[in-house]
Amino acid sequence: MTNIIVALPKIDDAKNMKNVLVRSGFRVTGICTTGAQAISQADGLHDGIVISSYKLPDMVYTQLKECLPAGFEMLLMASGRVIQECYGNDMICLSMPLKVNDLISTVNMMMDGIERRRRRLRQQPKMRSAEEDFVIQRAKEILMSRNHMTESEAHKYLQKCSMDSGTNVVETAQMVLSMMAG
């Protein structure tokens, strides 16, 4: 589920926004009244949405957007004049006064975009570091010398053990090294 952080200068407004979102089936991870609090909450999370007003006590929306982790999108709620200024700032804007249906459909749209991005990232092949490649190669060498396997057989063995144990190939190779070292 996507993390939602509500950052509004008045705590009562933030609580009301949270209640509207929760009643609509969203999970609100946190509410806060300053940009620093929003950044702090976002830093512990992988991705999500920050819903913010134009100005918080410690920063304006552009400063908050710059400080958010890469996986976060921002939904700015502001007057029409401010929204005209923010075109091209890589954020979604809603005009005040806010209509609940507009808020819900916009948050749904943003969540769908985040979910598409997550799926794309999961489908990309994982890149191993040189250290991880070395661990796998070393485990294959031990299997080849001790068990008289070809490199292909050793690799298939590591893959099968990995799938059977529910760990990735690097962890499986590390287990082989720790069991057979010596």
Q: So where are the chain's domains?
A: 3-123, 130-180
Q: Look at residue 164 and tell me whether its pLDDT is greater than 70.
A: yes
| pLDDT band of 111, cuts 50, 70, 90 | very high
Q: How far apart are CA 47 and CA 90, in angstroms?
A: 15
**How confident is residue 179, by pLDDT bands cut at 50, 70 and 90?**
confident
Helices marked H in the chain:
11-23, 35-43, 61-67, 80-85, 100-123, 130-147, 151-165, 169-180
Q: What is the pLDDT of residue 112?
A: 94
- On whether the 130-180 domain is CATH 3.40.50.300, my answer is no
Confidence tier at 5 by pLDDT (50, 70, 90): very high
Mean pLDDT of 92-119: 93
Claim: this prediction has a pTM higher than 0.75: no
- Residue-wise pLDDT tens digits, 27-42: 999 999 999 999 999 9
Domain 3-123 belongs in CATH node 3.90.660.20: no
**Does the pLDDT value for residue 124 go beyond 80?**
no
Q: pLDDT-based confidence at 182, cuts 50/70/90?
A: low
The reported pLDDT for the residue numbered 84 is 85
Token pair belonging to 46? 């992988």
Q: pLDDT band for 81, please (50, 70, 90 cuts).
A: confident
Tens of pLDDT, residue by residue over 82-100, are 888 877 778 899 999 999 9
What is the average pLDDT value for the chain, to the nearest integer?
A: 92
Query: H/E element holding 93?
Result: strand 92-95
Residues 59-84, buried b or exposed e (16+ Cβ, 10 A)?
A: bebeebbeebeeebbbbbbbeeebbe
- Please report the pLDDT score of residue 142 as a whole number: 92
pLDDT class of 20 with cuts at 50, 70, 90: very high
